[in-house]
Amino acid sequence: MKIRSRLSALCLAIGATGLAAEPTCHAHADYFGDIAKSLASDRDGLWAVVHDVCLPAYQSIGVTFPCSEVNIAKGLDRGYAVLRAPSSITHVIVVPTIRISGIESPALLKENAPNYWEAAWGARHFVEDGAGRRLPRDKIGMAINSATTRSQDQLHIHVTCVAPVVVNFLRRHQEEIRGVWSFLRYPLLGRRFAAMKVESDDLVNVDPFKLLAHSLPSGKFSMGGQTLAVIGTTFADGKSGFYILTNGAELLSRATISAEALLDRKCSN
């Protein structure tokens, strides 16, 4: 059954458009359980949630449920949805509203391609809402899995807190990370990473997919083999920016690391 018959026809069209009924919808039919099962059992489950439930709900009656946000102001081909992960109130996932397989898709490198990382950085307020507090930018991380480590075949960027071990590593090695890609001398979580830094308050004019494909030789020929992470920071001189990290199987004989290993979806610190 497709996500419990589209969550029982979207809770009977949210109480026949009586939007005050929406909160009860969140408890309906084990909402989180249904979505978790879909994502665990079907590699197209995430696409089904966004395309078959969130989008129709937004387009027909103007509600985003079960997504937290649906943004198609610039059209479906440039739109995205934000979905709270079933496992954590401080972990959200940003998903394009068009079919894109993942990091390896050539569509991401087109000149006019939407910048989904910009959307993901904008979605960090959902992480803060779940945490119940403001979070400094160096506590927020975004990551996407390689084609070999992902569980879903629809592009999605994880947004949540950064794992403390990653925060500490970046602080210790900040002098080693420059404005161009370079391979770090020391391993992180047992893997070898390449990293670069970007000085910018936001990602409006910075697309990490293109930085990876056009600037890192290994990325240019094997985008699908890369795990890519973007982590907010404030540099020692007080300027705002981001660290961008990538790890691919060809960088070391061991397998590519998963994006989730770099993140702390519970925002425990």
This prediction has a pTM of: 0.86
User: Do residues 146 and 195 share a domain?
Assistant: yes
The residue with greater pLDDT, 204 or 268, is 204
Q: Please identify, among 67, 90, 114, the residue that sits at the C-terminal boundary of a domain.
A: 67
The residue with greater pLDDT, 1 or 113, is 113
User: Do residues 24 and 80 share a domain?
Assistant: no
Q: Please identify, among 67, 91, 108, the residue that sits at the C-terminal boundary of a domain.
A: 67
**Residue 105 belongs to domain with CATH number:** 3.30.428.30
pLDDT-derived band of residue 127, with 50, 70 and 90 as boundaries? very high
The residue among 169, 174, 38, 156 whose CA lies nearest residue 91 is 156
- Strand pairing class (182-183; 92-96): unpaired
- The total number of structural domains in the chain stands at 2
* Residue 103 placed within a domain: yes
At 121 the pLDDT is 98
Checking if the pLDDT of 21 tops 80, the result is no
- Report the mean per-residue pLDDT for the chain: 86
Amino acid identity of residue 161, one-letter, is C
Q: Please identify, among 67, 85, 117, the residue that sits at the C-terminal boundary of a domain.
A: 67
At 114 the pLDDT is 97
User: Do residues 174 and 241 share a domain?
Assistant: yes
At 14 the pLDDT is 42
User: Do residues 84 and 115 share a domain?
Assistant: yes
User: Do residues 90 and 179 share a domain?
Assistant: yes
- Domain, as residue range, for 249: 69-264
The answer to whether the Cα torsion of 147, 151, 153, 158 is positive or negative is: negative
Checking if the pLDDT of 143 tops 80, the result is yes
User: Do residues 33 and 109 share a domain?
Assistant: no
User: Do residues 49 and 29 share a domain?
Assistant: yes
Angle between helices 31-41 and 3-17 (to 10 degrees): 150
Token pair, residue 220, equals 């240019």
Q: At 133, phi and psi to the nearest 5?
A: -160, 160
Q: What is the mean pLDDT of residues 27-38?
A: 52
At 220 the pLDDT is 56
Amino acid identity of residue 211, one-letter, is L
User: Do residues 58 and 76 share a domain?
Assistant: no
3-state secondary structure (DSSP) of residue 244: strand
Q: What is the mean pLDDT of residues 209-235?
A: 85
User: Do residues 241 and 119 share a domain?
Assistant: yes
Checking if the pLDDT of 41 tops 80, the result is no
Burial class (CB in 10 A: 0-12, 13-18, 19+), 178: exposed
User: Do residues 142 and 254 share a domain?
Assistant: yes
User: Do residues 53 and 91 share a domain?
Assistant: no
pLDDT-derived band of residue 249, with 50, 70 and 90 as boundaries? low
Checking if the pLDDT of 119 tops 60, the result is yes
At 219 the pLDDT is 54
Amino acid identity of residue 176, one-letter, is E
* Residue 269 placed within a domain: no
What would the pLDDT profile of 53-94 be if each residue is shown by its tens digit? 999 999 999 999 899 999 999 999 999 999 999 888 999 999
With pLDDT > 70 as the criterion, what percentage of the chain qualifies?
80
With pLDDT > 90 as the criterion, what percentage of the chain qualifies?
68
User: Do residues 257 and 153 share a domain?
Assistant: yes
At 163 the pLDDT is 96
The residue with greater pLDDT, 31 or 203, is 203
Which residue's entry shows tokens 């401080």?
Answer: 90
Which DSSP string corresponds to 94-150? EEESS---STT-GGGGSTT---HHHHHHHTHHHHHHHHTS---GGGEEEEE--TTT-
Token pair, residue 260, equals 């989730």
